[in-house]
Amino acid sequence: MKTTPLINIPTLKNNSDKIHLANLQGSSLALTISECAKQQKSPLILITNDTPSALKLRQELSYFVDDKLELISFPDWETLPYDHFSPHQDIISTRIETLFKLPSIKQGILIVPISTLLLRLAPKSYLKQHTLIIKSGQIIELQSLRADLEEAGYYAVEQVMDHGQFCARGSILDIFPMGSNHPFRLDFFDDEIDSIRPFDSESQRSLKAIDEIKLLPAHEFSTDKEAINRFKTKFTEKFTSPLSTSKESIFSEITQHNLPAGIEYYLPLFFEQTNTLFDYLPSNAKLAIVGDINQATIDFWQTLEHRYEERSVNLLRPLLTPNELYLRHEQCFEQLNQWPRFYFQQAPFDNEKQGRTNFDCALIENIQVEHKKKQPLAGISEFIASFEGKILFSVQSSGRKESLLELLAPLKLKLTEFSTIDDFTKAKAKLGITISQVENSFMLPSRGFAFITENELLGFKVTQSRRRSQSSDENYSSDHIVANLAELKVGQPVVHIDYGVGRYLGLQTIETAGNLTEFVTLEYLRGDKLYVPVSALHLISRYSGHDVENAPLNKLGTETWEKAKKRAAEKVRDVAAELLEVYAQRAAKIGHSYKLNKNNYALFKNDFPFEETHDQALSINAVISDMCSTQPMDRLVCGDVGFGKTEVAMRAAFLATDNARQVALLVPTTLLAQQHYENFKDRFSNWPVRIEVLSRFKTAKEQKQILADSASGKVDILIGTHKLLSGDLQFSDLGLLIIDEEHRFGVRQKEKIKALRAQIDILTLTATPIPRTLNMSMNGMRDLSIIATPPAKRLAVKTFVQQKTDQTVSDAITREVMRGGQVYFLHNNVQTIEKAAQDIQTLLPQAKVAVAHGQMNEHQLEKVMSDFYHQRQNVLVCTTIIETGIDIPSANTIIINRADHLGLAQLHQLRGRVGRSHHQAYAYLLTPPKKLMTKDAQKRLQAIESLDTLGAGFTLATHDLEIRGAGELLGDDQSGQISTVGYNLYMEMLNQAVTALQSGQEPSLEHLLSSQAEVELRIPALIPDTYIHDVNLRLSLYKRIANSNDKHALKEIQVELIDRFGLLPDATKNLIQVTEVKQLCTPLGIKRLEAHANGGNIQFTENTPVDPMFLVSLLQKQGNTFKLEGPTKLKFSVKLEDSRARMNWITQLLNSFKDHLIKKG
């Protein structure tokens, strides 16, 4: 059924035509643009005055545009002109894909900011000539394809994770093509491509096969021999100074096929001539212009010329002129005027004339929910009653939909859900609800249509925006990575359950009894070596204690390790007993059970201006559940600053105050108290809740009055430092104590808190990372919630390692301050920090610079931090004192001076100080020249620069911080034990001790980890390096195979190996089968099984579940084959020269044991 469009767009007929469309109120601008694209039946090029406008319109258009229309972007490089760093690979990928698609688009919308439109690009012929189409069944040599990829700018890696990478392993080639959402796996049979399958870059597992893929070039310029020669010629013709072609110059780097950061600003030199985006447009395209692009072009050219003048003095890196890189203002508008174009604006025209139309659009007013009024929904209720047309409500997620329906429930509306606006306009329903990212409401009175967003009803909302799926986050939890020895480097410490702490020296293939086996080499104190077969990798774990660099290595052949293990086990038993006692005490206590008023809670929940993260929602639900139960709450919520702990506390505080009970919020510093006070005041502004703060910012008289009002019950929520614990403070009916960062309080304060624990509900917040394994071991004993999911729209921090220059510092600060943000400049030397601040002030006289360090007195430091928080300064020169502290969302750039002096974990934590809002954040790690840095420092900086999203390296860097957190939670004494035996072994001991005590048994060291059987079948069982070259990957897979506890897990690994690396070699098949045998042995109580060409033996444990009568019958019936040696050793003599026959015979024997177990009961 054909429906009349909501908005009719006039038609552009000739190239010189232009139409101005105005009065596009709220988000009707995006709806009008989508209708325009639909009705014109030709591509629409949407040009905005800046990047933020382009991003907002894209977000809204993604809802209004139907599936028939393509919606594509041509994003900005996100670098300043002549910058010395390159755009992110994902941006380049999107741009190249857009340029490839653009000429053939029949109908759709391309979004581009005006400054991006000015840039000169590769000629159209470049993409045609450098794009490969690869098909299943195609005959092509793998080596030839590799060469083609390298020439197209792709680079070889060990594991494909990002656009522009490839990896060849045997007959398999993995590649992540530019413009693709997935990497692909090509499986070769000789020179024929047998299959092409997309795969998940996180799990590395492949999906369903497809017929063909398109390989676009990896850069916006060519890197083949011809292009490099053209670059040489054009560069030397243009720049004649000897310095410009010297060894240190950018010319030298490029001609040696190194692609330096910022090479994009030399693009014209790689081609005979350039094109612009106008040259790529289909001939029937129409332009749609939003905003004042004229002024935006003038402003851009002013910045461009200024930056050219500033930077053109460096002869090692001579610059192309702005004219060579960009279209001038007049050139751009000359091109624009050759196309038919629409001009869109939100403001109405005073008078309509030829080519000018005011649409019948209006904003919707007075519909906001007002909690303070008796009838909070009066505004929206009146609008619905008076509006005669159709009304579509819009929410930003399914979770928000449920919240809105709950909120509107008193109005008894019948809201039907619709996927698209078109579905709603075609339907008979008068009221509907839809999920979209549209921000502003609007109505079209003459069409009888209103679009109401939750923003207008409830206040601004933030959408969820995650790059990673839940499942892949779990794969990259620190526990998962540590358990699998991922990323283990030579020289790092590990723990062997039987021999103690040693250093990992790598993998070594050794021939034993004529068979090749791979061993892990460990070095102990005084250079002693231990060779551990890969089949025994379950006995090895990564050492992670407080100081990994100075791990306490053990000496082989002494009893030191056994004593340390025994001592740790005794201490662990005490901790487990204490935990169980705490649990029993808590279970016996009766606390206050709160009543949840669902209507009030729904209103308070809807005031939250962000989308809850998964972990945050779980934490909130746990807290509410605790408070509604009869047991007193004692919950710890752990999450980084900015991850949403405060909202968890606010929900708890709301429930307490809604039940007429008082809340105390205890914080370690006056500044944090003030920040919490302002946040709580803002959050509770719609509710009759009185919030006060006790701090130095209050006069003595004010403080006295607050104390009196707290005692009489007039204050609902009181926030303060340790003063809250003083004897002169009384509460009328204190129900909830919230503690922020308990570990930062002194011993006496902690004792007072401990005394309170018996009486009231306690919620503790901490930003110290805590490992999830600790959560498991304390389940039910100390309630722990971990918020590890980053908040919505949190972008990865862009990280640059650069040599320190005034220009770099000036650019970084100017870039941030120009967008209204703030900058941390970290200078970790108190003696010279004042001079560093003066240098910045001299460099940028307009900057407002402050200094903060740990040797300042408390009052002075608090004033500086308070002023910075309130944006009275925009540059804070500071030491690592900012590692933990208040949340400053507007600080989105951090510059770390002498970053080479800081450890990886510390660099990660400092970098985490920025990127707290939905703005792109930047971290600049400034270093001296390379020759003045140690090799280790260079490695650390390379690592942090490459890890801009969560991954193995990131979680390992934070793991030692988690260990500190575990130590803090368990106490100083336990920290010592963790340091001695390593965190993983400690946690294994703790889990076993808790389980044993719960079942009424004493924990035993004998049952620890070494419960797996030892199996030696004298056959080669390994992963050959010809099959998997990467040592780290081989080690990690060995560990996963050794740790797999059932046949299903082993099968999964086998499928993954074939998928990623090709058919299994015989030695790897053997490794899998040996592990299967081991899995059969362990539940049968077999300690060791050995088999060779002439027989072998089986060593049972004393309490084996195998029926002794069955073993006796074996000895009687097959006396020539089986003999008993001692009470627990069964010897067998049988010819088993063929390894396959040996494996089958052993498996049959073990299965017969399995069929004859002692019957219980």
pLDDT of residue 969: 54
pLDDT number for residue 790:
63
Average pLDDT over residues 734-740: 92
pLDDT(949) > 50: no
Question: Which of 355-364, 386-395, 586-595, 603-612 has the largest mean confidence?
Answer: 386-395
Tokens of 753: 């808190």
Residue 1034: pLDDT over 80: yes
Convert the pLDDT of each residue in 775-805 to its tens digit. Answer: 444 544 557 787 776 665 455 678 889 899 9
Better pLDDT: 628 or 399: 628
pLDDT in tens, 745-771: 766 776 676 666 667 898 988 766 555
Share of the chain above pLDDT 70, in %: 86
Are the C-beta atoms of 943 and 953 separated by less than 8 Å?
Answer: yes
Query: In the prediction, which pLDDT does 1045 show?
Result: 80
User: 378-458: which CATH topology?
Assistant: Rossmann fold (3.40.50)
Q: How confident is the model at residue 159 (pLDDT cuts 50, 70, 90)?
A: confident
Segments in 102-168 forming alpha helices (H): 114-117, 124-129, 142-151
User: Using 50, 70 and 90 to split pLDDT, how confident is the model at 396?
Assistant: confident
Residue range 225-249: mean pLDDT, rounded: 93
Is residue 541 scored above 90 in pLDDT? no
What's the pLDDT score for residue 376?
85
Q: Is 415 in contact with 399 (CB distance < 8 Å)? A: no
Cα distances (Å, whole numbers) of residue 671 to 642, 693, 885, 886:
16, 11, 9, 8
The tokens for 445 are: 């009175």
So what's the pLDDT on residue 686?
83
Instruction: Give the helix ranges, DSSP H, for 65-129.
Output: 89-101, 114-117, 124-129
Closest CA to 781 of 573, 992, 576, 582: 582
Pairwise CA distance, residues 186 & 197, whole Å: 7
d(C-alpha 648, C-alpha 617), whole Å? 8
> How many angstroms separate the CA atoms of 102 and 277, rounded?
9
Residue 494 three-state SS: strand
Output Rg (C-alpha) for the chain, integer angstroms.
34
pLDDT at 794: 56
CA pair distance 559, 561, nearest whole angstrom: 6
Residue type at 846?
A: Q
For 511-540, the pLDDT digits (tens) are 877 788 889 999 999 999 999 988 888 888
| Domain assignments of the chain as residue spans, ordered by start | 18-124+273-358, 132-215, 378-458, 588-787, 798-948, 1031-1154
**pLDDT for residue 850 is more than 70:** yes
Instruction: Report the pLDDT value the prediction gives residue 1124, as an integer from 0 to 100.
Output: 92
Q: What is the Cα–Cα distance from 234 to 271, expressed in whole angstroms?
A: 9
The CATH number of 588-787, from 3.40.50.150, 3.40.50.300, 3.40.190.10, 3.40.50.720, is 3.40.50.300
Q: Of 984, 53, 881, which Cα lies nearest the Cα of 482? A: 984
Contact indicator for 604, 687 with CB cutoff of 8 Å: yes
Q: CA-CA distance, 907 to 914, in Å (whole number)?
A: 12
CATH 3.40.50.11180 for domain 18-124+273-358, yes or no, is: yes
pLDDT band at 545; cut points 50, 70, 90? low
Q: Could you give the dihedral angle defined by the CA atoms of residues 910, 913, 918 and 923, in that order, rounded to the nearest 10 degrees?
A: -40
Q: Quick one: pLDDT at residue 471?
A: 34
pLDDT interval class at 1 (50, 70, 90): very low
pLDDT (tens digit per residue) in 267-310: 999 999 999 999 999 999 999 999 999 999 999 999 899 889 98
The pLDDT of 484-511, averaged and rounded, is: 83
- How far is residue 160's CA from residue 317's CA, in Å, rounded to a whole number? 32
* Mean pLDDT confidence for 69-84: 88
Judged against a pLDDT cut of 60, whether residue 1138 lies above it is answered with yes
Fold assignment, 132-215: Penicillin-binding protein 1b fold (3.30.2060)
Query: What pLDDT, on a 0 to 100 scale, did the predictor assign at position 705?
Result: 92
Q: What are phi and psi of 21, to 5 degrees?
A: -115, 125
- What CA–CA distance (Å, rounded) separates 874 from 850? 8
> Are 1017 and 1077 spatial neighbours (Cβ–Cβ below 8 Å)?
yes
Do the domains 1031-1154 and 588-787 match in fold? no
Q: What is the pLDDT of residue 954?
A: 41
Mean pLDDT of 1057-1067: 88
Give the integer Cα–Cα distance in Å for 370 and 393. Answer: 18
More confident residue, 1045 or 251: 251
- Mean pLDDT value across residues 849-859: 87
Q: What was the pLDDT predicted at 971?
A: 59
pLDDT top residue among 355 and 38: 38
pLDDT at residue 78 in the model: 75
What is residue 1161's predicted lDDT score, i.e. its pLDDT? 54
Contact, 641 vs 916, CB < 8 A? yes
Chain-centroid distance of CA 634 in Å reads: 29
Structure tokens given for 1011: 């419960």
Quick: pLDDT tens for 409-420. 899 999 999 999
Domain 1031-1154 part of CATH 3.90.1150.50: yes
Range name among 117-131, 834-848, 929-943 with the lowest pLDDT average: 929-943
**Contacts made by residues 572-578, CB under 8 angstroms, sequence distance 24+:** 572/977, 572/986, 572/989, 572/990, 572/993, 572/1003, 573/993, 573/997, 573/1002, 573/1003, 575/970, 575/974, 575/990, 575/993, 576/990, 576/993, 576/994, 576/996, 576/997, 576/1003, 577/997
pLDDT digits (tens, 9 = 90+) for 633-688: 888 888 766 678 899 999 999 999 999 999 999 988 777 887 788 789 878 888 99
Of the candidates 367, 402, 334, 305, the one whose C-alpha atom is nearest the C-alpha of residue 81 is 305
Has residue 463 got a pLDDT over 50?
no
Token pair in block for residue 706? 């607050």
pLDDT at 473: 40
Pick the CATH number of 798-948 from 2.60.40.10, 3.40.50.300, 3.40.50.970, 3.90.1150.10: 3.40.50.300
| Confidence tier at 546 by pLDDT (50, 70, 90) | low
CB 541 within 8 A of CB 495: yes
pLDDT at 442 over 60: yes
Q: How far apart are CA 1151 and CA 1077, in angstroms?
A: 10
Residue 1008: per-residue pLDDT:
55
Average pLDDT of the chain, as a whole number: 84
